[in-house]
A and B are shown apart, each in its own frame.
Chain A
Amino acid sequence: MPGPFALIIWCSGMALELTFVVCSLARKSFLRYFFFNMYFLLDLCSEAARYFFLIRFGQSSDAYRYAYYYTDALLTLGLYVALISLYSRVFGELKFGKYVRLTAVFLLLGTAAFSYGVVAQTTDRLVTSFAYELSQNLYFVGLVLTYVLWGAILKLRETRTRVVQFVLALGVYFSAYAAIYALVNLASKYAVMSNLAPILGCLLPLSWTITIWRHSEESRLIPAQLVAVQR
């Protein structure tokens, strides 16, 4: 069983995700941000499934490991879809929606094929390693896509406060995760590293909840003011 600190972080993350769904319902934005809500609801279901496997089979069992990595891959896929929905929102007015969706599907298939290629060559435990590899590669693709989307927001002078803050929060989340994964590889012997990722997991629902609660859909800002060094 995880320790009390890990349990507190776990429960806080789930509470924040539920808060986002409730806030989006209260602000009548559930359907507008349908894929964000779906992602958080999927995460809540995954946490419940993981908890069930943890209690039933124990943390070191194969069943828990399978459940953990497959739900993780599923969640990364959910976050990828949420990110693409932001792309559709930003490029929607330019009638690029169809091309965005097509590119997203090709990119996803390409990432899956690349992950399969890497795993097939190096390991005999194809099933678990594929889920892990796909999840890791999708995180990297997500970080690159968020960076590109932020560039597009600045170029297209997107002014919707909610969209801008959702993208920035996603950027913080993806880059922090990438930094933590790299740090774990560099200094895996320190126990504190294992708690950093779940803490970061709480940041995304927290920042998105603040955005959806504080700003209405009509709220606007000037994105050029947000760049650290103004041109």
Chain B
Amino acid sequence: MMASLIFVVSVVTLLMFFVSYCRSLMASSSRHIISKEVRDITGIPASACGRDFVRVMQLLQLCPERPEDRSPLQAVDAYFKILGLVQKSVARLVPSVRTWTEHERAGCANFVVVTLDRRIAFSREVLAQQGEY
């Protein structure tokens, strides 16, 4: 009984800290201005929505990886999947939760668009450096 109670409480606090941690990862990308080129490639005019996430992730896999991106991207991907589960279950019954999950999923999508932008800029830099030699 006690172990079950501790388990439930710790899972709730775990989710709370995990959500805030993922939001802190995404907050660093909220001020980033997306380049026109990435907007053209992704077809996202101003800000991304939840539906764009999977498509942009596929585009990300075509770009050379930056090692510092990998772990934050995995954390946000896990967060997006949790949000997907919430959207398919609780959000169907509670409209305010549906609005919240859609807002969060859009934040995740925006994070991967910014990551794509940074990867493209990084690849350009590498190519430019190679061209100098």
Alpha-carbon distance between A90 and B25 when the two chains are bound, in angstroms: 20
Q: Check A176/B14 contact, CB under 8 A, given A185-B3, A186-B3, A206-B71.
A: yes
User: Does A191 reach chain B (CB closer than 8 Å)?
Assistant: no
B32 → chain A closest CB, angstroms:
13
Contact of B10 among A164, A182, A225 (CB under 8 A): A182
Residues of B close to A210: CB separation below 8 A: 68, 71-72
User: Does A226 reach chain B (CB closer than 8 Å)?
Assistant: yes
Residues of B close to A172: CB separation below 8 A: 14, 17-18, 21
Question: How many residues of chain A are within 8 Å of chain B by beta carbon?
Answer: 33
Contact of B3 among A147, A165, A182 (CB under 8 A): A182
Alpha-carbon distance between A12 and B71 when the two chains are bound, in angstroms: 14
Find out whether the CB atom of B16 lies under 8 angstroms from the CB atom of A179.
no
Q: Which of A68-76, A113-121, A213-221 contacts B (4 or more CB under 8 A)?
A: A213-221
**Helix, strand, loop or mixed for chain A's interface?**
helix
Alpha-carbon distance between A93 and B14 when the two chains are bound, in angstroms: 29
Which of B4, B11, B17, B68 is most buried by chain A, counting CB atoms within 10 A of its CB? B17
Residues of B close to A219: CB separation below 8 A: 28
Q: Check A221/B27 contact, CB under 8 A, given A169-B21, A213-B68, A214-B68.
A: yes
Q: Mark A146-190, 1 if CB is under 8 A from B, else 0.
A: 010010000000000100110011011001101101110110000
User: Does A227 reach chain B (CB closer than 8 Å)?
Assistant: yes
Residues of B close to A185: CB separation below 8 A: 3
Contact of B14 among A164, A175, A206, A214 (CB under 8 A): A175
Q: Check A225/B23 contact, CB under 8 A, given A161-B28, A186-B3.
A: yes
Alpha-carbon distance between A140 and B9 when the two chains are bound, in angstroms: 12
Q: Mark B1-41, 1 if CB is under 8 A from A, else 0.
A: 00110110111011011111101110110100000000000
Find out whether the CB atom of B23 lies under 8 angstroms from the CB atom of A186.
no
Residues of A close to B10: CB separation below 8 A: 143, 175-176, 178-179, 182
Q: Mark B91-128, 1 if CB is under 8 A from A, else 0.
A: 00000000010000000000000000000000000000
A204 → chain B closest CB, angstroms:
12
Alpha-carbon distance between A222 and B20 when the two chains are bound, in angstroms: 12
User: Does A228 reach chain B (CB closer than 8 Å)?
Assistant: yes
Contact of A226 among B4, B6, B24, B68 (CB under 8 A): B24
Question: How many residues of chain B are within 8 Å of chain A by beta carbon?
Answer: 25
Find out whether the CB atom of A182 lies under 8 angstroms from the CB atom of B24.
no
User: Does A192 reach chain B (CB closer than 8 Å)?
Assistant: no
User: Does A29 reach chain B (CB closer than 8 Å)?
Assistant: no
B3 → chain A closest CB, angstroms:
4
Alpha-carbon distance between A213 and B9 when the two chains are bound, in angstroms: 32
B34 → chain A closest CB, angstroms:
19
Residues of A close to B71: CB separation below 8 A: 206-207, 210
Residues of A close to B6: CB separation below 8 A: 178-179, 181-182
The 5 closest A-B pairs by CB, nearest first: A171-B17, A182-B7, A178-B10, A175-B14, A179-B10
**A168-B21, A214-B68 given. 17 additional CB < 8 A pairs?**
A150-B17, A169-B21, A171-B16, A175-B13, A178-B10, A179-B7, A179-B11, A182-B3, A182-B6, A182-B7, A183-B7, A186-B3, A210-B68, A225-B23, A226-B23, A226-B24, A228-B16
A-B contacts, 12 of them at CB < 8 A, read A143-B13, A147-B13, A161-B28, A168-B20, A171-B21, A175-B10, A175-B13, A176-B10, A183-B7, A210-B71, A226-B27, A227-B20
